[in-house]
């Protein structure tokens, strides 16, 4: 399988279907290796999937979790903090083997070094990778770096990505949105054994169209996912409306 597109009625149906597939992959990894590694995306578009995933019958004590990105200079207590998002919606609800948080408040290079060591020790079995309104994956905004083999990188956020965070209610204005972030690189994302992209909502329709119908280009970062050996793209009626 290179790419599979699964259409759902709405975001709830999408989240249910995607969570079941993610759980199946995790259970298969546990069966084969007695452990599994999961990579989580965050943001409004991932909420229904994460809400359903915590309900799945997985031996969570054997699962390690990473997440994709974090703003630099934001407090863990801020409502937009991705550490807080993962902790409250996922990690605190399950007895996980371990959760590897990205810390945007401390020494950036030291945190990148630590995370790189952790993620390099074993493959990620399932990566939940959303697609942004500018077709970014994680915070790899266009033009994304398709060449670096660093696992995590420091990036500048473009205004489209920053405005999306305002539109979703995480910040009151674009001036409040940090301009820098730590993100998992495109190269590292592509090392996942299986990638599941949950992309609901009308606001993502153009990005979905561009991703599916364009050649692979770093100006539309999500197009790189079409090269992955096991990519499942979940769409609802709104996000698939331009296809």
% residues pLDDT > 70 (the chain) = 100
Residue 59 pLDDT: 98
pLDDT for residue 239? 98
Confidence class for position 203, pLDDT limits 50, 70, 90: very high
Domain CATH number, residue 106: 3.40.50.1360
Sign of the alpha-carbon dihedral angle for 229, 58, 39, 81? positive
Q: What is the pLDDT of residue 1?
A: 67
Low-confidence winner among 1-10, 135-144, 202-211, 223-232 (lowest mean pLDDT): 1-10
Considering the domain boundaries, does residue 225 fall inside one? yes
242 occurs within a structural domain: no
Tell me the per-residue pLDDT of 8-40, one tens digit each, with 9 for 90 and over: 999 999 999 999 999 999 999 999 999 999 999
Bridge partners, 5 (sequence order): 233
pLDDT of 228 strictly over 80: yes
| CA–CA dist 219, 226 (Å, integer) | 14
Full residue range of the structural domain in which residue 163 is found? 3-233
Mean pLDDT of the chain: 96
2 falls in which pLDDT band (50, 70, 90)? confident
- Is residue 8 a contact partner of residue 20, using CB atoms and an 8 Å limit? no
pLDDT at 106: 85
Position 96 in a domain: yes
Is position 64 within any domain?
yes
CB 69 within 8 A of CB 160: no
pTM for this predicted structure: 0.96
Minimal CA–CA distance to 220: which of 93, 151, 134? 134
Taken in order 15, 56, 127, 43, the sign of the CA dihedral is positive
With respect to residue 205, please indicate whether it lies within any of the assigned structural domains.
yes
79-129: pLDDT as tens digits: 999 999 999 999 999 999 999 999 989 899 999 999 999 999 999 999 999
Say if 59 falls within a structural domain.
Answer: yes
Residue 173 within a domain? yes
Beta-strand runs (E) in the chain: 3-7, 36-40, 63-67, 69-71, 98-100, 126-128, 152-156, 180-184, 194-199, 231-235
| Assigned token pair, 25 | 């992959």
Number of separate domains in the chain: 1
Residue 238: inside a domain: no
């Amino acid at each position: 399988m290179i790419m599979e597109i699964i259409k759902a009625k709405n975001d709830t149906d999408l989240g249910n279907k995607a969570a079941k597939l993610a759980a199946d992959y995790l259970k298969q990894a546990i069966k084969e290796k007695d452990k599994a590694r999961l990579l989580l995306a965050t943001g409004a578009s991932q909420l229904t999937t994460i809400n359903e995933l915590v309900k799945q019958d997985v031996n969570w004590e054997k699962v390690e979790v990473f997440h994709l990105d974090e703003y630099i200079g934001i407090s863990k207590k801020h409502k937009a903090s991705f550490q807080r998002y993962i902790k409250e919606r996922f990690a605190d609800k399950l007895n996980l083997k371990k959760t590897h948080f990205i810390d945007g408040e401390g020494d950036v290079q030291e945190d990148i070094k630590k995370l790189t060591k952790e993620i390099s020790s074993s493959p990620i079995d399932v990566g939940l990778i959303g697609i942004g309104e500018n077709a970014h994956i994680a915070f790899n905004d266009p033009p994304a770096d398709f060449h670096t083999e660093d696992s995590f990188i420091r990036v500048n956020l473009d205004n489209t990505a920053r405005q999306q965070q305002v539109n979703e209610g995480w910040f009151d204005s674009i001036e409040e949105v940090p301009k820098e972030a730590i993100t998992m690189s495109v190269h590292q994302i592509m090392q996942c054994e299986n990638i599941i992209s949950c992309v609901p909502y009308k606001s993502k329709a153009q990005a979905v169209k561009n991703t599916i119908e364009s050649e692979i280009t770093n100006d539309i970062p999500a197009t790189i996912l079409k090269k992955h050996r096991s990519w499942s793209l979940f769409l609802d009626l709104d996000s698939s409306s331009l296809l």
